[in-house]
Amino acid sequence: MSTARRKAYRTAEDRILLAVTVIAWLLYLLSSLLLSWSVYHILANDHMVRQSAKDAVHETSGWSTVQRTEMFQTAIEYNNRLEQRFGSSIPADMRNEEGQPLELLDSEYINMGGNTIATLNIPGISVTVPIYHTTLDTVLDKGAGHMYGTALPVGQEGTSSVIAAHSGGVQGLLFSRLVELRQGAYFYVNVYGTTHAYQVDAITTVLPDQVEQALQEEIAKARTATSATAKKTDDPSDMRTQIPAPDKSGTARVSMVTCTPIGVNTHRLIISGHRVGTPSPAPAADSVKDTRLQALIWALVVLVIAITAAVIFHIIRKHSNIKTAKGRHHA
């Protein structure tokens, strides 16, 4: 090959390499922007969700004792009618012949407790979300939803409540870290200005068409536990009208449901727990730390310090080498 041809070949090869490099950098920049946009929206939405939860707690904390008593009594009466109304079925997301969601037609349910039903706090994984009425898509886009047909989560004896939320979406973190919970972990429900603690005692993963059966089993657990406790009292029929004080344990159950694995969503993760007293055995919610998040933060701090130190060392070393080279040149 002649010199001119070799030169032309190298020039063409250099152009191709330059084009590939530019395209690679553009793709890298585009993917970085998309990732940054997604992270920003997740964090921004998560902040709004947390703020909504704080606002809900603040609102109910100002209620008078009379208001709280009336709300709890109304919830008890509503919960006690569920079995007669729906039997063992859970009619969440079901529609009538006109295509209208049944829960939206239940004015008593929709107006129960104001804008939110309660607030869920899982301090061990930094989850704080408001619990809204229903599990319709418009609701789950802004927080957690209470599953229609299950008991309102007021801590009432013999009841089983279900709370659902998204995982891995841009709506916020929501239940993305729910998979980290283990047996014995604590979570808290603030309802009508009162905080009830629950301890995880069941973790299961099922197919979507197995969810209702799994949740019906949770309802049965709560009723069985109440029956067993009622045998020890003088007035067994009165058990279902009771809500133990926050420092007392009880038979009420709460289940949390989300899609899993994140991004695949072929199954449903169900984590359930029963009422326990706080501050004993369950510690106060504000005293529970998210150890994994703390470890991650410290790891990032150490990484930043290490990178900074490496850059400074490289600059100093390069500067020293330049000075040495100049010294040799003058010599």
Please tell me which residue in 133, 146, 196, 259 is annotated as part of the active site.
Answer: 259
Peptide bond into 279 cis (omega under 30): yes
Pairing status of strand 253-260 against strand 160-164 = parallel
Pairwise CA distance, residues 40 & 33, whole Å:
10
Tokens 């406790």 found at: 229
Whether residue 267 lies in the annotated active site: no
- Strands 144-146, 127-133: pairing is parallel
Residue in 133, 146, 166, 196 annotated catalytic: 166
Residues 200 and 260: their CA atoms lie apart, in Å, by: 18
Residue 192 and residue 113 in contact, taking contact as beta carbons nearer than 8 Å:
yes
Q: Is the dihedral of CA 46, 189, 186, 268 positive or negative?
A: negative
Tell me the pairing of strands 118-122 and 267-276: unpaired
How far is CA 278 from its chain centroid?
22
C-alpha dist (Å) from residue 193 to 137, 249, 274, 313: 27, 18, 20, 55
Identify which of 163, 137, 138, 128 has the alpha carbon closest to the alpha carbon of residue 46: 128
| 3-class secondary structure, 7 | helix
Based on the residue annotation, tell me whether 58 is a catalytic residue of this protein. no
The residues assigned a catalytic role are: 166, 259
